[in-house]
Chain A
Amino acid sequence: MKFKGTAWKYGDDIDTDAIIPARYLNTSDPKELAKHCMEDADVNFVRKVNKGDIIVAGKNFGCGSSREHAPIAIKEAEISCVIADSFARIFYRNAFNTALPILESSEAAKEISDADELEIDTEQGIIENLTTGKTYSVRPIPKFMGELIAVGGLVNYVREKIKGQKGK
């Protein structure tokens, strides 16, 4: 997948309460959740982002609550990809399961500045900072996660599996 968009930069330990505060979790409607995306980290987030923009964050992005509402809100806010130094593990799983592309890169997370223009190729594992001209190569997606993405996420993966069992 290829994406092009503006980077919005955040620090370390952006927790899922900041990504989607619990006061909005009396619904799981993606459109409602997206209205409040990143609200407690950046109250202007929803107003300033455009389709395809990219979140760039520090260490441990998505820590805290297991709420899948977090990647759902980010995806529905039309963020194309999240780049971070590292991801908290439940968020990492949830992102793949909900087909939100995420990339880990310490260097890119550190060096990219707010409002830089980025171009990303997830298959090649390349992040290009169009503003500074610097290119980063990122860790490839683990094979198993790649298979999940290839079939369109966990739901499809399991659906295929169940079909296979019924066929036996």
Chain B
Amino acid sequence: MGMTITEKILAAHCGQDKVSPGDLIMAKIDIALGNDITAPIAIKEFKSIGAAKVFDKERVVLVPDHFTPNKDIQSAEQVCTLRNFSREQDITNYFEIGRMGVEHALLPEQGLVVPGDVIIGADSHTCTYGALGAFSTGVGSTDLGAAMATGETWFKVPESIKFIFTGKLNKWVTGKDLILYTIGKIGVDGALYKAMEFCGETIDNLSIEARMTMANMAIEAGGKNGIFKADDITLEYVNARAKRPYKVYESDPDAHYAQVYEFDCKDIEPQVAFPHLPSNCRSISDVGNVTIDQSVIGSCTNGRISDLREAAEVIKGRKVAKGVRLIVIPATQEIYKQAMKEGLLDIFIDAEAAVSTPTCGPCLGGHMGILAAGERAIATTNRNFVGRMGSPKSEVYLSNPAIAAASAVLGRIGSPDEL
């Protein structure tokens, strides 16, 4: 029996010809990532292990992106921990404010993650890099601390679930809608402990950024990783950036899958996830009258240039509705600059949106757009849990950038077709 792409990458990183689901392996890792919330604990554990040096100063990546630019004194102190450690260890890839971006947009953009890698990050959305054909998964701080010391970590080889998408995308439907639809179908634990492998003719034609959006939210279905085969679209993106050689893996035709789902895209409209679970999805035509106080366009899920272009196309020449705040957050400095060059920031500011420097900020209720009790937001982010964007009595609805932009203009959740 053949192997899946996930099994092949894990086998190659533990020096075996073959691994099977359920095997416990010790795998070499290519990149270990931490941020300003998770890395301070990882650094403490690293020191408590008694390790003197990180396994590879090029391969430990530290990105202070969550509560930055520092929102308060305690947040500033957490970033100090990263900065001092990076100095002490001569870490190549510590990204200071001004160079920093939202980690899962930044690493692919900087060519730090490549196809065939095994990547761990103390951030659950580390699964994003599966879009490039890498095995990439979120871990906790202690796992990160240990991996920074040894360059390896243990995994249980996951079973894989195959998701096949066929047909053409309907108007305004994006990678975000495909993944929300998938989570809506299988539930927030529908892929618990498993690899989610995305394929099919629709995926073959999907942009790399849309694939990143999909892989990013594999964790919202409980998945260990989301993964796509690296194809010409991937390699065009990777070759322009990669800082290391890479290897492309592909699932064997006779690989085993725990489950196979087939989705026909003609059935998929833009999706909106209602509070308080990402699986609580409805098609845009079934949303009804949901008024909003805030719309957030950004995050590791949807803060890339194509997302900003989609939102700008909708909002161009229009104004944000009275009583509504639209907050736009380009995910990296490069995206920010590109958006400026293309006139997208003018479009947002003319529409009376607030445009922010890169930060995770409001996505996790950190800063830069916190909700009061009773307030409601639509967001292109990834989670709508209770209290996620502020008060435990506020509400978050998830959507793609075009819907979030249209909703900001309408003052209620709606489609660009209603403008």
**Residue among B126, B141, B154, B387 making CB contact with A68, cutoff 8 Å:** B141
Number of interface residues of A (CB under 8 A): 45
- Asked if B385 and A60 make an inter-chain contact with CB atoms under 8 angstroms apart, the answer reads no
A115 lies within 8 A of chain B by Cβ: no
Q: What distance in Å separates the Cβ of B386 from its nearest Cβ neighbour in chain A?
A: 5
| A156 (CB) vs chain B CBs: closest residue | B49
Chain A hits for B66, CB < 8 A:
22, 25
Q: A66 at interface (Cβ–Cβ under 8 A)?
A: yes
- A113-168 contacts to B (CB < 8 Å): 142, 144, 153-155, 157-159, 161-163
Does B138 lie at the interface of the complex (its beta carbon under 8 Å from any beta carbon of A)?
Answer: yes
Give the docked Cα–Cα distance between A119 and B277 (Å). Answer: 33
Q: Which residues of B contact A59 (CB under 8 A)?
A: 189
Chain B residues within an 8 Å CB radius of A68: 38, 41, 122, 140-142
**Total contacts A-B at CB 8 Å:** 145
Cα distance A98–B150 in the bound complex, in angstroms: 18
Assess whether B388 is interfacial by the CB under 8 Å rule.
yes
How many angstroms from the CA of A89 to the CA of B192 in the assembled complex?
Answer: 7
Nearest-neighbour CB distance to chain B for A143, whole angstroms, equals: 8
Closest A residue to B75 by CB, please name it.
Answer: A26
Q: Does A103 contact B (CB under 8 A)?
A: no
Q: Out of B49, B72, B122, B189, which one reaches A26, CB within 8 Å?
A: B72
B-side interface residues, number (CB < 8 Å):
52
Partner of B366 from the list A22, A142, A157 (CB cut-off 8 Å) is A22
Nearest B residue (CB) for A22: B364
A18 at the interface (CB under 8 A from B): yes
Other than A63-B188, A66-B124, give 10 A-B pairs with Cβ distance below 8 A. A21-B365, A25-B66, A41-B386, A60-B189, A69-B37, A90-B219, A93-B140, A144-B154, A155-B142, A158-B51
Binding site for B on A (CB under 8 A): 13, 15, 17-18, 21-23, 25-28, 39-41, 43, 59-60, 63-69, 71-72, 86, 88-90, 93-94, 97-98, 142, 144, 153-155, 157-159, 161-163
Q: Which 5 A-B pairs have the closest CB atoms?
A: A94-B140, A26-B74, A97-B142, A60-B189, A68-B140
Task: Give B residues with C-beta under 8 Å from A.
Answer: 24, 37-38, 40-41, 44-45, 48-51, 66-67, 71-72, 74-75, 78, 121-124, 126, 138-143, 145-146, 149-150, 154, 188-189, 192-193, 219, 222, 224, 277, 364-366, 383, 385-388, 390, 392
